Amino acid sequence: MLNTFVVYVENKSGALARVALLFRRRGYNIESLTVGRTEKPDVSRMTITVEADADQARRIEANIYKLVNVLLVENVSAVPVITRDLAMIKVAAPQEVRSQVLELASVFRARVVDVALSSITIEITGAEDKIDGLLDVLRPFGVLEMVRTGIVAMRRGARTSEPNNEQTPDFIEESVSCSVKN
Amino acid sequence: MRMTGAQILWRSLELEGVKHVFGYPGGTILPAYDALTQSTIHHVLVRHEQGATHMADGYARATGQVGVAVATSGPGATNMVTGIATAMMDSSPIVCITGQVGSKMLGSDAFQEIDITGVTLPITKHNYIVTRPEDIAKTIHEAFYVARSGRPGPVLVDITRDAQQASCEFEWDASVPKLPGFRPDIQPEPATYEEALKMINGSRRPVILAGHGILISEASQLLREFVERTHIPVAMTLLGIGSFPASHPLNLGMMGMHGEAWVNKAIQEADLLLALGMRFDDRVTGELAKYAPKAKKIHIEIDPAEINKRVKVDVALIGDLREVLPKLLPKVTRTDSSEWLERIWELKGDSAVRDIQSLPDEGHLYAAHVINDLWHETQGSDTIVVSDVGQHQMWEAQYYKHERPRSLVTSGGLGTMGFALPAAIGAKTARPDAEVWVVAGDGGFQMTMPELATIMQENLKINIAIINNGFLGMVRQWQQFFYESNYQSTPMLSPDFVKVAEAYGIRAMEVTTRSQVVPTVKAARSHDGPVLINFRVEQEDAVYPMVAAGAALHDMIRRPSPLVETAEDV
């Protein structure tokens, strides 16, 4: 199952390497990793997606939690979240087919951000499957180049993933529920 | 007060309570060495930086205090890698300080520049690079805090040459460092206590698995109270040895690949395993699918990432044993385990007839007899045995009866040959009043043999027992059992260890028969200086019992015995 982790790290040299190396060392393949600034200048936020079963996911979370520069790690796979990926797609679009390409872009609510004689570049934001859908219909025209940012995720509703020292990490709560079940 | 970065470094270490460091000078750490002259800290000059890290590690394991190693950049730093990894695998609190090229030269492949924080990223608990004198005091304070808190481990602090040379105001904040991302004080969920208590109090065939965490947490006395209240027998991991007195009637002995047969069988037949501060290493479980199939498992462990890593447990109490055990203690009851204990003693009786201690030596010198006699001679005194890695390490674990915590220092997780001699120097430096014995094989001893010079320079009374069988014995044993006795590259020609020791100014003796063991050990103990004894033991003896890789824990290769029918060997 695909797991999505939100990780807040102190903005210090090596913090990204520490997190990324952990996945490599424990043998998990990162599907997507994004990192960027937050509303606090000394804190960065990562969204990491990785294929793992529930038990592996709990251990990944615990291992990330142990890193000294990590302020918070949360597995948001089982809670309602908004996930977004952004792609720029450069499509071959000579005069004859240009209107068809533009029409498809508008159906997907994508934006045209650059036009040249024989190509147009489309920007699309959304969940991964929406972008995959646009890609599928553009492919017959000839996708010349594509770049995707990887996904970012945020909880729905008022609850935030803000670092807070008081809360019990959820993998500890999970270890209880798994034990009480038995 | 204005001080140079170098002065701040030593002052900070003094304020952390450091009395000794183990190190080796070089170009980029020279400013620090220049300032060392004014410090109260005693510097032990090693012969190789790997030795410095093992010494810091031995120092830490003998006392629980953070050990400190110092080296220069480049090769000095990379030589530390094995020692850092050893400390990481065995949760030993050490701080390694390395010099680094000037901050303006970083990244330019300067002479002796190596990205040591990058190199050690996966084998340190945390590491730092410091490029300004203003950051040195705070970083040292943090490094010590991180190294010793929660599950301990190695921390490396890389300090550029210019940061050592530049000056700034020295400020020391002794309060607990503010590290918002570092929370070593995990507490178990309250509900898990109730679950655990139900299982403990309802068990009929329970076994406690005592690991290194008991020693690290200083919870030996609590474990003893727990056992005396519940009457649950105790099996120990290699690194758990000493956490519970060997002479206690409820101490079964060591578990695992070379654990005693009755211990492994008891684990396999148990209905409850109570794992305390251990991590179900592959060397203690055997084949996982067949591990303790009838047992419920309770895991009390400070590291949340260890829970369900290899063995799926029924209840996990994530926290420090010193805090968790007192909460369980008043509520545990004496288990009705008399039948269970009888069953275990029956298993033990079967094994005793195969024990090499029950067998005549017939003129041979067996390593197990050497260890037994060494134990017999030194028991009752405050002795620390520092063992290396291989057959002798397993015989030491089986036949030296450790009564006290921190009386065995050995490399478990990484299995680092060459560990013993330098680690013993660290242990003796930390505990000068203790009697320190190195027990090493002829192979491992030669990996760090130059540290004999460190012993002499430091004038340390350390006794060294080389268990010399002329082979890389454990590898030879695997070749014997699993590679049709194809002894490829395991016969080993060694120098005359007696002459080597004498060249260093160390008194040395040779033992070839059992009758010489006790008098020679007595002579070594009464000699007022370091002594090396070369025990020329049986060349092709094997460590029994043995759980082969991939075999279930109870499926052991047993010592062939003239007194036992050979067919019933499992």
Tokens standing for B222? 């609590």
Q: Which of A79, A112, A129 is the last residue of a domain?
A: A79
**Among B122, B186, B195, beta carbon nearest to A179:** B195
User: Are B307 and A168 inside 8 Å of each other by CB?
Assistant: no
pLDDT of residue B252: 97
Contacts of A24 (CB under 8 A, 6+ apart): none
In a domain, residue A158? The reply is: no
Rounded to the nearest 10 degrees, what angle do helices B49-63 and B81-89 cross at? 20
Nearest residue in A to B316, CA atom: A175
pLDDT of residue B406: 98
B138 or A29, higher pLDDT: B138
Residue A168 backbone zone (phi > 0: left; psi -120 to 50: alpha; other: beta): beta
Nearest residue in B to A72, CA atom: B181
In a domain, residue A182? The reply is: no
3-state SS assignment for residue A6: strand
Give yes or no for a contact between B552 and B287, defined as CB atoms under 8 angstroms apart: yes
* pLDDT score of B145 more than 90: yes
Our count of domains for chain A comes to 2
* pLDDT score of B119 more than 80: yes
A163 to chain B, any CB pair closer than 8 A? The answer is: yes
pLDDT of residue A165: 54
Nearest residue in A to B314, CA atom: A179
Min Cα–Cα distance to chain A from B333, Å: 21
Nearest residue in A to B145, CA atom: A68
The DSSP call for residue B251 is E
- Residues A22, A73 share a domain: yes
- Residues A93, A128 share a domain: yes
Nearest residue in A to B117, CA atom: A14
**Among B117, B180, B186, beta carbon nearest to A14:** B117
Q: Could you tell me which residues are beta bridge partners of residue A37?
A: A44
- Tell me the C-alpha distance between B374 and B366, whole Å: 13
**Among B180, B192, B318, beta carbon nearest to A71:** B180
- Residues A87, A116 share a domain: yes
pLDDT digits (tens, 9 = 90+) for B2-58: 999 999 999 999 999 999 999 999 999 999 999 999 999 999 999 999 999 999 999
Give yes or no for a contact between B6 and B30, defined as CB atoms under 8 angstroms apart: no
Contacts of A67 (CB under 8 A, 6+ apart): A9, A18, A19, A22, B126, B181
CA B367, B372, B373, B374 torsion-angle sign: positive
Q: Tell me whether strands B546-547 and B556-557 are parallel, antiparallel or unpaired.
A: antiparallel
pLDDT of residue A180: 39
User: Are B186 and A70 inside 8 Å of each other by CB?
Assistant: no
User: Are A59 and B305 inside 8 Å of each other by CB?
Assistant: yes
Which runs of E-coded beta strand occur in B334-434? 383-387, 408-410
- Return the CATH number of B360-543, one of 3.40.50.970, 3.90.1150.10, 3.40.50.300, 1.10.287.130: 3.40.50.970
User: Are A179 and B129 inside 8 Å of each other by CB?
Assistant: no
pLDDT of residue A170: 67
pLDDT digits (tens, 9 = 90+) for B415-427: 999 999 999 999 9
The superfamily CATH assigns to domain B2-169 is Thiamin diphosphate (ThDP)-binding fold, Pyr/PP domains (3.40.50.970)
Find the chain B residues whose C-beta atoms sit closer than 8 A to any C-beta of A: 117-118, 121-122, 125-126, 129, 146, 179-183, 186, 188-189, 191-192, 195, 303-305, 307-309, 312-316, 318
A17 to chain B, any CB pair closer than 8 A? The answer is: yes
Q: Tell me whether strands A143-148 and A152-155 are parallel, antiparallel or unpaired.
A: unpaired
- Tell me the C-alpha distance between B264 and B544, whole Å: 13
- Tell me the C-alpha distance between A130 and B10, whole Å: 60
pLDDT of residue A173: 61
| Strand (E) or helix (H) holding A87 | strand A81-92
Min Cα–Cα distance to chain A from B428, Å: 32
- Tell me the C-alpha distance between B11 and A24, whole Å: 39
Cα angle A146, A104, A151 (rounded to 5 degrees) comes to 40
A59 to chain B, any CB pair closer than 8 A? The answer is: yes
Question: Which residues of chain A lie closer than 8 angstroms to B313, CB-CB?
Answer: 179
Q: How many beta-carbon pairs below 8 A join chains A and B?
A: 77
3-state SS assignment for residue B212: helix
Residues spanned by the domain of A56: 2-79
3-state SS assignment for residue B465: strand
Tokens standing for A159? 């609850």
Contacts of B140 (CB under 8 A, 6+ apart): B9, B12, B13, B16, B95, B157
The answer to whether B190-350 and B360-543 have equal CATH topology is: yes
- Return the CATH number of B190-350, one of 3.40.50.1220, 1.10.460.10, 1.20.58.1290, 3.40.50.1100: 3.40.50.1220
- Tell me the C-alpha distance between B57 and B90, whole Å: 10
Within 13 Å of residue B239, how many CA atoms lie on the same side as its CB? Answer: 28
**Among A63, A168, A176, beta carbon nearest to B305:** A63
User: Are A172 and B182 inside 8 Å of each other by CB?
Assistant: no
Residue B150 backbone zone (phi > 0: left; psi -120 to 50: alpha; other: beta): left
- Tell me the C-alpha distance between B38 and B8, whole Å: 11
User: Are B121 and A63 inside 8 Å of each other by CB?
Assistant: no
- Tell me the C-alpha distance between B58 and B424, whole Å: 6
Rounded to the nearest 10 degrees, what angle do helices A54-66 and A15-26 cross at? 140
How many C-beta atoms lie closer than 10 Å to residue B570's C-beta? 12
Question: Which residues of chain B lie closer than 8 angstroms to A175, CB-CB?
Answer: 189, 192, 304, 307-308, 316, 318
pLDDT of residue B16: 98
pLDDT of residue B353: 75
End-to-end CA distance of chain B: 71
pLDDT of residue B568: 45
User: Are A175 and B318 inside 8 Å of each other by CB?
Assistant: yes
Min Cα–Cα distance to chain B from A174, Å: 10
* pLDDT score of B147 more than 70: yes
**Among B125, B192, B308, beta carbon nearest to A59:** B308
Tokens standing for A75? 């597995």
Min Cα–Cα distance to chain B from A105, Å: 44
Query: Best residue in B115, B148, B155, B315 to probe A by mutation, most A CBs within 10 Å?
Result: B315
- Residues A15, A68 share a domain: yes
pLDDT band at B352 (very low <50, low <70, confident <90, very high): confident
User: Are B192 and A163 inside 8 Å of each other by CB?
Assistant: no
Q: Could you tell me which residues are beta bridge partners of residue B535?
A: B467, B511
- Residues A67, A7 share a domain: yes
Three state DSSP letters for B294-358: CCEEEEEECCHHHCCCCCCCCEEEECCHHHHHHHHHHHCCCCCCHHHHHHHHHHHHHHHCCCHHH
Q: Which of A79, A108, A128 is the last residue of a domain?
A: A79
**Among B121, B146, B186, beta carbon nearest to A18:** B121
In a structure prediction context, what are the per-residue pLDDT tens digits for chain A, which is 182 residues long?
999 999 999 998 889 999 999 999 888 989 999 999 999 999 999 999 999 999 899 999 999 999 999 999 999 999 999 999 999 999 999 999 999 999 999 999 999 999 999 999 999 999 989 999 999 999 999 999 999 999 999 999 988 887 765 566 666 665 544 443 33
- Residues A10, A66 share a domain: yes
End-to-end CA distance of chain A: 23
Min Cα–Cα distance to chain B from A82, Å: 26
In a domain, residue A177? The reply is: no
Burial class (CB in 10 A: 0-12, 13-18, 19+), B362: exposed
User: Are B314 and A179 inside 8 Å of each other by CB?
Assistant: yes
What average pLDDT score do residues B518-541 get? 97
3-state SS assignment for residue B492: coil
Global pTM value: 0.95
- Residues A112, A47 share a domain: no
In a domain, residue A40? The reply is: yes
Domain ranges of chain B: 2-169, 190-350, 360-543
A44 to chain B, any CB pair closer than 8 A? The answer is: no
What average pLDDT score do residues B450-468 get? 98
pLDDT digits (tens, 9 = 90+) for B269-322: 999 999 999 999 999 999 999 999 999 999 999 999 999 999 999 999 999 999
Q: What is the DSSP string of A109-170?
A: T-EEEEE-SSEEEEEEEE-HHHHHHHHHHHGGG-EEEEEE---EEEESSS------TTSPPH
pLDDT band at B570 (very low <50, low <70, confident <90, very high): very low
What average pLDDT score do residues B366-380 get? 96
Question: Which residues of chain A lie closer than 8 angstroms to B179, CB-CB?
Answer: 68
Question: Which residues of chain A lie closer than 8 angstroms to B309, CB-CB?
Answer: 59
Within 13 Å of residue A126, how many CA atoms lie on the same side as its CB? Answer: 15
- Residues A56, A24 share a domain: yes
- Residues A104, A48 share a domain: no
Question: Which residues of chain A lie closer than 8 angstroms to B183, CB-CB?
Answer: 165
* pLDDT score of B340 more than 80: yes
Nearest residue in A to B313, CA atom: A179
Q: Tell me whether strands B531-536 and B462-468 are parallel, antiparallel or unpaired.
A: parallel
Q: Could you tell me which residues are beta bridge partners of residue A50?
A: A3, A30
